Amino acid sequence: MNSRATDPLKGILLKIASVMVFVGMQTFIKMAGPGINPGQITFHRSAFAIVPIVLFLAYRGQLRDALYTRNPVGHLKRGSIGILAMGCGFYGLVHLPMPEAIAIGYAMPLFAVAFAAIFLGETVRVYRWTAVLFGLAGVMIISWPNLTLFLDGGFSSEATTGALAVLFSAGLGAAAMIQVRQLVREEKTTTIVLYFSLIASLFSLATLPFGWDWLDFRATMYLVLCGFCGGVAQILLTSSYRYAEVSIIAPFEYTSILLGIAISYILFDDVPTTTMLFGTAIVVSAGIFIIYRERRLGLSHKSSDTASK
CA dist., res. 189 & res. 30, Å (int): 29
CB 243 within 8 A of CB 6: yes
3-state helix, strand, coil in the chain (%, to 5): 80, 0, 20
CA–CA gap between residue 10 and residue 300 (Å, rounded): 18
pLDDT in single tens digits along all 309 residues of the chain: 444 557 888 888 999 999 899 888 878 887 887 778 878 888 998 899 898 888 878 877 878 888 888 888 888 888 889 888 988 887 776 666 666 666 677 777 777 777 877 877 777 778 778 877 887 787 777 766 655 555 555 555 566 777 778 888 888 988 888 888 788 788 887 788 888 888 989 888 888 888 788 888 999 999 999 999 988 988 888 788 778 876 678 778 777 777 777 777 787 676 777 876 787 778 777 767 766 666 666 555 555 454 444
SS3 193: helix
Residue pair 175/107 in contact by the 8 Å Cβ criterion? no
What global pTM score does this model have?
0.70
Q: How far is 171 from 110, CA to CA, in rounded Å?
A: 9
Neighbouring residues of 235: CB distance < 8 A, sequence distance ≥ 6: 53, 56, 189, 190, 193
What does the pLDDT read at residue 140? Answer: 75
Cβ contacts of 79-82, under 8 Å, gap ≥ 24:
79/195, 79/196, 79/198, 79/199, 79/200, 79/203, 80/199, 80/203, 81/172, 81/175, 81/176, 81/179, 82/172, 82/173, 82/176, 82/196, 82/200
Q: Cα separation of 285 and 281, whole Å?
A: 6
